[in-house]
Structure 1
Amino acid sequence: MSSATPSAPEASAGLLSRVKTIPSVGPVLVLLAFCLVFAVTNPRFLAPHNLSIILQQTIVVGTLAIGQTLVILTAGIDLAVGAICVLGTIVAGKLVNLGYDPMLSMLFAVVLCTLSGLVAGTLVSRLDLPPFIVTLGTLGILTAALRLISQGGAFPVQDSFLGLTGNTFRVGSFVLTYGVLAMLLLYAAAWYLLNETRWGRHVYAIGNNPEAARLVGIPVRRHLLQVYALAGLIYGITAWLALGRIPNADPNALQTANLDSITAVVIGGTSLFGGRGGLVGTLIGALIVGVLRNGLTLAGIDPLWQDLVTGILVILAVAFDQLSRRRR
């Protein structure tokens, strides 16, 4: 008579198979592997001060990656994330330097960033234009406009409210900024929206198959518009975090933010083909990029080699995703 209780090997195999289905497991293992390698090769890596620096360096790209994740989950892509964020820093900085109220200036900048996302979403959802082309065009328009507004040069933004997110607080041995806390709160809010609401389930459905989503009654066009507008709002908030990190408005800033945000999303396990992934993986992906760059910097590796290694990671992540899709 056989027992209904599974044997230890069967239970272990079942647990392993369930663990493999969790999208963020792979990125977590990669993050732990990098941390282990850098901790062994350089004792300064695990110092509380250095770990605090990694978190602070992740703020801007990590927050921009939230909006990028939302767009990519719908099988789109946003190449204007950095330009929209810089738009927020330039507008807020200009208005404050002209004597306007800092809170209203930052609010206006966030609204303007949201409108930029709304325009892109309108072109994608109403005219069925490819997201790649729309956001590439947006990038070109904003790059030129920002240089005209700022007259081609950077300028300091010395205001206590705009720099608020750069203020520090201590947690044990760690010295963190309010920007880190704001980033984590944004991740928590966006995670809840994606995983615990009908709106989030519709986003995944649209990314998997927009035509099937439309046939079951999901307002695909309206949801796409909302996704791009929400992404623009997140980029606007990121502008505030960026001013807290570096109190300077520069039209040439964040030139690699588009690639870096996509890198964090892809390494975090979100599929470029849409419909699969999540924000936990994106946060881990952003930390992977931060840990990798920090560890290689401590080792004295040239930044060009850091870009090369990051590019290889992106290609490997996309290749793994493509192989997984073919097996399914």
Structure 2
Amino acid sequence: MNTATVSDAETPRSLTARILGTPSVGPLLVLLGFCVIFALTNPRFLATHNLSIILQQTVIIGVLAIGQTLVILTAGIDLAVGAICVLGTIVAGKLVNLGYDPVLSMGFAILLCTAAGLAAGGLVSGLRLPPFIVTLGILGILTAALRLISEGGAFPVRDPFLAWMGNTMKLGGFVLTYGVLIMFTLYAIVWYLLNQTKWGRHVYAIGNNAEAARLVGIPVRRHLLSVYVLAGLIYGIAAWLALGRIPNADPNAMQSANLDSITAVVIGGTSLFGGRGGLIGTLIGALIVGVLRNGLTLAGIDPLWQDLVTGILVIIAVALDQMSRRRS
């Protein structure tokens, strides 16, 4: 009888410990904390219109963070996230403005972004080059190429198909774009791949210890290549979302996309050292970035200070992850 009593007494505590130990709970508490702070300091923050804007502003970084999560889970990092996405907007916009079919133009642009991921994955998996160096090199190449293709300036893209992701629909009091729905759909698909398939388990195994994964028979190089290819495909879809958000192709756009996507992933609980984390945390992390920027904008804070705060959050998140690994 005493044993049963002790067991019954410990059940609530063990349940609470499990809940608090869930990786996404910490980021969720941070998100709620920011929401409370901004709601108390500005009554406009919780307005339905403003919350809809936050979701719409989160779409591009939220989708880019999916690909970044895949790469970071394998103990890599992608510094060409923004450049590959801009590549998609520039190529699709140029082709449509030259009179080509918009569907084929967008399809070709997404294919080109996927090819950029293939190139990065080939260099990382085939030649075993550090992901940091490879993606930094691709960033430099694309930055120059995009300015040459666009002839150094931005240009409008007015095709209805390319702007389709920006069309809105009402859901209760919220005004959502189709891009928001596509973002949640992508999260659901990639979450399933990571958590319910053998491929996803292998991705985590490679991130934990690539050599050990190879020794147990996991085709490490092939899986690494597939991760970068899938990430490139996702960046291409993000380019379509970006044209829906702002119907303008600009080679200088998304200057902070790399930092924001990495911030969303790391704040969401995914370890920069690989093998630990998940997409639910990344989605919460992307919302944290969106809420933070929106709240600071409502408060009249200069965008430069917003970047400073974002950088500080990244450092804090990485430091906490490092301390957690040492304790483990």
* Shared fold, TM over 0.5: yes
Query: Deviation at 1:5?
Result: 4.0
Name the counterpart of 1:159.
159
Q: How far did 1:296 drift?
A: 1.1
Q: Which residue of 1 aligns with 2:90?
A: 90
The equivalent residue for 2:305 is: 305
User: Unpaired runs of 5+ in structure 1?
Assistant: none
Offset from partner CA, 1:169-226 (integer Å, 9 cap, x none): 0001100100101111000101000000000000000000001100111000000000
Q: Deviations over 1:288-310 (max 9, x none)?
A: 01101111111112222222221
1:2 Cα deviation (Å)?
1.4
The 5 Å alignment of 1:141-220 reads 141-220=141-220
In the alignment, residue 81 of structure 2 is paired with which amino acid?
V
AA of the residue aligned to 2:327? R
The whole-number CA distance in structure 2 between the counterparts of 1:309 and 1:132 is 23
Q: Residue 252 of structure 1: CA displacement?
A: 0.5
Q: Secondary structure at the match of 2:175?
A: strand
- What CA distance in whole angstroms lies between the structure 2 residues aligned with 1:234 and 1:309? 27
**Partner deviation per Cα, 1:51-103 (whole Å, 9 max, x = no partner):** 00000000111100000000000000000010000000000000000100000
Q: What is the Cα deviation at residue 136 of structure 1? A: 0.1
Distance 2:94 2:82 in 1: 18
In structure 2, what is the Cα distance between the partners aligned to 1:48 and 1:242? 23
Q: For residue 276 of structure 1, give the secondary structure of its aligned residue in structure 2.
A: coil
**Corresponding residue number in structure 2 for 1:254:** 254
Which runs of 4 or more aligned residues in structure 1 lie more than 3 Å from their structure 2 counterparts after TM superposition? 5-9
Matched, 1:294 2:328: no
What's the CA shift string for 1:141-166, capped at 9, x where partnerless?
A: 00000000010000000000000000
Which amino acid is the alignment partner of residue 249 of structure 2?
A: A
After TM superposition, list the pairs within 5 Å mapping 1:1-16 onto structure 2: 1-6=1-6, 9-16=9-16
Please say if residues 206 and 220 of structure 2, whose CA atoms lie closer than 8 Å, have aligned partners that are also in contact. Answer: yes
- The answer on whether the counterparts of 2:61 and 2:261 sit within 8 Å (CA) in structure 1 is yes
CA displacement at 1:13 relative to structure 2? 2.0
3-state secondary structure, aligned to 1:20: helix
Q: Aligned-residue CA RMSD in angstroms?
A: 1.0
- SS for the counterpart of 2:151 is coil
Q: Please give the alpha-carbon distance, in whole angstroms, between the structure 1 residues aligned to 2:250 and 2:41.
A: 36
Counterpart residue identity of residue 178, structure 1: Y
Gaps of 5+ in 2: none
Structure 1 counterpart of 2:106: 106
**CA-CA distance at 1:10 after TM superposition:** 2.1
Question: Which whole-Å CA distance do the structure 2 matches of 1:241 and 1:312 have between them?
Answer: 28
Deviation at 1:255, TM superposition (A): 1.1
3-state DSSP of counterpart to 1:176: strand
- Residue 105 and residue 38 in structure 1: after superposition, are their counterparts in 2 closer, same or farther (change >3 A)? same
Identity %: 80
Report how many residues are paired: 328
The corresponding residue for 1:275 is: 275
Task: Give the deviation of 1:267 after TM superposition.
Answer: 0.4
**Contact 2:68–2:262, Cα closer than 8 Å, also in 1:** yes
Task: Please give the alpha-carbon distance, in whole angstroms, between the structure 1 residues aligned to 2:9 and 2:145.
Answer: 63
CA distance in 1: counterparts of 2:166 and 2:316, whole angstroms? 35
Shift of 1:12: 2.9
Query: Is the 2:259–2:311 contact (alpha carbons within 8 Å) kept by the matching residues of 1?
Result: no
Deviation at 1:246, TM superposition (A): 0.3
Aligned counterparts of 1:61 and 1:287: Cα–Cα separation in 2: 9
| Cα distance between partner residues in 1 of 2:236 and 2:187 | 15
Q: Is the 8 A contact 2:72 2:274 kept in 1?
A: yes
> How far, CA to CA, are the matches of 2:6 and 2:38 in structure 1?
40
Shift of residue 3 of structure 1?
Answer: 3.6
